Chains A and B, each alone.
Chain A
Amino acid sequence: MTGLSLTTIGLGHYLALSAALMLIGTVGVLTRRNVVVILMSVELILNAVNINLIAFSKHLGQLHGQVFAIFVIAVAVAEAAVGLGILIALYRNKGTVNADEVDLLKW
């Protein structure tokens, strides 16, 4: 815990928060059964990445990180739209939203 001071909020705090968010999101992706919640966890992970990008953007005094964060948000929105579309099609065909019951590719 060398990088963290208790009085001022620096880059290390943001990085630690981002790592924790990433950890929680990864746990969600790996352990939940409901595909909707898995997609929400992916959103959490992408938010952790955004916090990292913007914290470094502030740290280095440049705006390039924020531009990349915009791109990440756009990709996240596209991913959510396509993922939920796939989910609706899946539910219509299989009648389930549980990730371990979807074994169409298993022979």
Chain B
Amino acid sequence: MALAGAVLTVALRNAVHCAVALIVSLLGTAGLYLLLRAEFLFATQIILYIGGVMLLFLFVIMLINLDESRQQRHFIKGWWLGVLLAAGTGAIGLRWALEKPWPGPEGALPAASGGNTERLADLLFSEYLVPFEAISLLLLVAIVGSVLMARPKPSAETGETPAKGAQA
């Protein structure tokens, strides 16, 4: 499911269809998270990616008029070079993934006290507190930056922004 969605995301011509295929792929990935006993990330994936990011993508696709680009080429001229490069990298990665028998305590999970979310929160707010705060700062900067980027250009003569609000 994840792989089929991913292939369709890259291969389909209409950008809206690509977005729907990407939703399928993200749902498949969320199912894998559930299989891997990462329940919190499963919920996060569905709420944040499928709810938030895909809404953003679809909104931008609607905002940008894609009708005239439907008749054009959809791949760049040197597409075979890109495919070759990606296939080389992917072959190395696949080989690396398949060859080694990975060492490690397979299936020897320590006795879990509390659910996945609780233990995750404990770890996040004790050992990874500084990166957590850094990521919140990054998100703040990203919000301000995207609003600044997407809002209408300030008029040149006055230097003031027009009264129309930010469209982000």
Contact = CB atoms under 8 A, between A and B. Distances in A.
Q: Which 7 A-B pairs have the closest CB atoms?
A: A30-B82, A23-B90, A85-B146, A15-B97, A78-B142, A85-B149, A28-B10
Interface string B98-129: 11111011101110000010011001100010
Contact of A23 (B69, B86, B99, B142): B86
Given A37-B15, A73-B48, A82 B146 contact: yes
Given A14-B32, A44-B22, 12 more contacts: A1-B98, A17-B2, A21-B2, A24-B6, A30-B86, A31-B83, A36-B57, A54-B41, A67-B124, A82-B149, A89-B150, A98-B72
B139 A14 contact: no
5 contacts: A2-B101, A21-B3, A61-B105, A63-B120, A89-B150
Given A59-B106, A84-B146, A64 B76 contact: no
Nearest to B128: A67
Nearest to B146: A85
Given A2-B98, A47-B25, A84-B56, A31 B36 contact: no
Contacts of B161: none
B7 to A, nearest CB: 6
Nearest to B84: A30
Nearest to B110: A61
A97 B62 CA distance: 13
B94 interface: yes
B119 A73 contact: no
A91 B64 contact: yes
A87 B15 CA distance: 14
Interface string A42-65: 011001001100110111110110
B56 A80 contact: yes
